[in-house]
Amino acid sequence: MQRFFYAPKLPPTRNDLMKRESEWSSDEFRLLLSNPELTDMQLSDGQLGRAAAAINWVRSAVHDFHLGREQSILSAAMRGILSTREQKWICPLCRKSL
C-alpha cells in the first residue's frame, strides 16, 4: 500500500518572493500607496496583479520606513517616492500620514 503524506505549504520566504516577483515599477508602488483601504487580496486580484504576500511584504516595508526601521526591502526608487513626499501618503498598516 502506497502512502502519501500531506506537507502543509509554508509561507514564502524573502528569497521565494524575490525569485517570483519582478522589480516593482514606480506606478505599481504609487498604486499600492494610493489604496491603503484595500486589502492585500483585493490589490492582488484587481489593479495590481501581484501576489498578496508580496503586497503585504512591501506594505510592511513602508511601515518600517516611516518608523525609521531597517528598509533594505524597498528599492532606491521606492524610498525616493516616500522621501520626496510628492503626495500625502498614508501608511497601509497603521494609517498614519507618512
pLDDT tens readout for residues 23-64: 899 999 999 999 999 999 999 988 888 899 999 999 999 999
Q: Is residue 96 part of a domain?
A: no
Q: Is residue 67 part of a domain?
A: yes
Q: Is residue 39 part of a domain?
A: yes
Task: Tell me the β-bridge partners of 90.
Answer: 97
Number of domains in the chain: 1
Taking the C-alpha atoms of residue 50 and residue 67, their distance in angstroms, rounded to an integer, is 25
Report the pLDDT value the prediction gives residue 10, as an integer from 0 to 100. Answer: 58
Taking the C-alpha atoms of residue 13 and residue 42, their distance in angstroms, rounded to an integer, is 22
Residue whose entry in the numeric block shows the C-alpha cell 483601504: 37
Q: What's this model's pTM, rounded to 2 decimal places?
A: 0.74
Q: Is residue 95 part of a domain?
A: no
Q: Is residue 97 part of a domain?
A: no
Q: Is residue 40 part of a domain?
A: yes
pLDDT at 1 over 60: no
Report the pLDDT value the prediction gives residue 95, as an integer from 0 to 100. Answer: 92
Domain of residue 30 covers 24-84
Q: Is residue 76 part of a domain?
A: yes
Beta carbons of 11 and 33 less than 8 angstroms apart: no
Q: Is residue 19 part of a domain?
A: no
